[in-house]
């Protein structure tokens, strides 16, 4: 499915749809110029581009990005499993091999707190300004907790500033991140939701995009507006769709969201 060399990873283009993977709303630290994506995660950077039948990932952090892009997962098998559901067929046909990323836990947590009631360009700008304060590296809990709330206000975090500061301080002073990593999904959700600024949707995104809990189906405003039946609550809708798609619920959510909320909106 892929091969590695010093400084690069080569992937068959049939095994990764770069645009869908990076622009489906799961990642905020990337920029695109001349069909080349610059992807940043933690202290790591990669240049990602498609040429012919291959995708090249240029990076000095080869092993990191093999894990980050989940390159050992057969996502085409996942698509075949999801093809059993007729309501997903147009999305599956329109998207290539979208991959759910394996992102750092704390970075994902803070990024999705920032994402609450926000739009993607603004989320990206805030995160870029935050990282610029630490030499273009996403801060550790200890580094982020060392900032003053007014410094977070100054980079545009708004009402989220106090949440970000308080969550960073808790993560720096306790073992909650390790407990989240080792917990069962239901317990991980409770731990995450105990943190300031973390509601159901943020917790679900963290579990899906950082912990790899693929049975999770995050419900945001768009999903609720378009997929609810009758007077379903967010949790009732989430339960129904997780039951329907089972171990592939996270992938189903990403295909539905990317195809309908992003591709069709831009068409």
Rg (CA), the chain: 18
CA 65 – CA 44 distance, rounded (Å): 8
CB atoms inside a 10 Å sphere around CB 265: 9
Note whether 213 and 250 are within 8 A (CB): yes
- In sequence order, which residues have a C-beta less than 8 Å from that of residue 176 and are 6 or more positions away? 170, 191, 194, 195
The reply to whether 79 belongs to the active site is no
Within 112-177, strands assigned E span: none
From 3, 47, 201, 266, active-site residue: 201
The SS3 assignment for 153 reads: helix
Classify each residue of 223-255 as buried b or exposed e, where b means 16 or more C-beta atoms within 10 Å of its C-beta: beeebeeeeeebeebbeebbeebeebbbbbbbb
Strand ranges across the sheet with 44-51: 2-5, 8-12, 54-58, 44-51, 36-41, 30-33
- DSSP assigned state of 267: -
Q: Which residues are catalytic?
A: 201
């Amino acid at each position: 499915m892929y091969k590695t060399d010093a400084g690069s990873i080569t992937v068959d283009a049939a095994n990764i749809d770069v645009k869908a993977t990076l622009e489906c709303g799961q990642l905020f630290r990337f920029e695109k110029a001349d069909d080349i994506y610059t992807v940043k995660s933690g202290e790591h950077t990669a240049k990602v581009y498609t040429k012919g039948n291959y995708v090249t990932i240029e990076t000095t952090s080869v092993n990191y990005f093999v894990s980050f892009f989940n390159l050992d997962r057969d996502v085409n098998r996942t698509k075949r499993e999801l093809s059993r559901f007729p309501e997903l067929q147009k999305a599956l046909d329109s998207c290539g091999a979208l991959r759910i990323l394996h992102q750092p836990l704390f970075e994902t947590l803070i990024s999705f707190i920032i994402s609450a009631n926000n739009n993607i360009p603004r989320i990206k700008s805030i995160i870029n300004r935050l990282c610029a304060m630490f030499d273009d590296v996403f801060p550790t809990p200890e580094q982020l907790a060392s900032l003053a709330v007014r410094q977070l206000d100054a980079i545009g975090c708004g009402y989220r500033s106090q949440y970000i500061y308080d969550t960073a301080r808790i993560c720096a002073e306790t073992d909650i991140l390790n407990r989240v990593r080792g917990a069962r999904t239901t317990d991980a959700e409770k731990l995450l939701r105990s943190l300031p600024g973390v509601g159901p949707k943020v917790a679900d995104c963290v579990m899906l995009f950082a912990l790899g809990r693929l049975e999770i189906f995050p419900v945001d405003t768009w999903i609720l507006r378009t997929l609810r039946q009758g007077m379903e609550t967010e949790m009732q809708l989430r339960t129904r769709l997780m039951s329907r798609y089972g171990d592939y619920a996270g992938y189903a959510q990403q295909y539905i969201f990317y195809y309908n909320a992003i591709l069709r909106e831009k068409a």
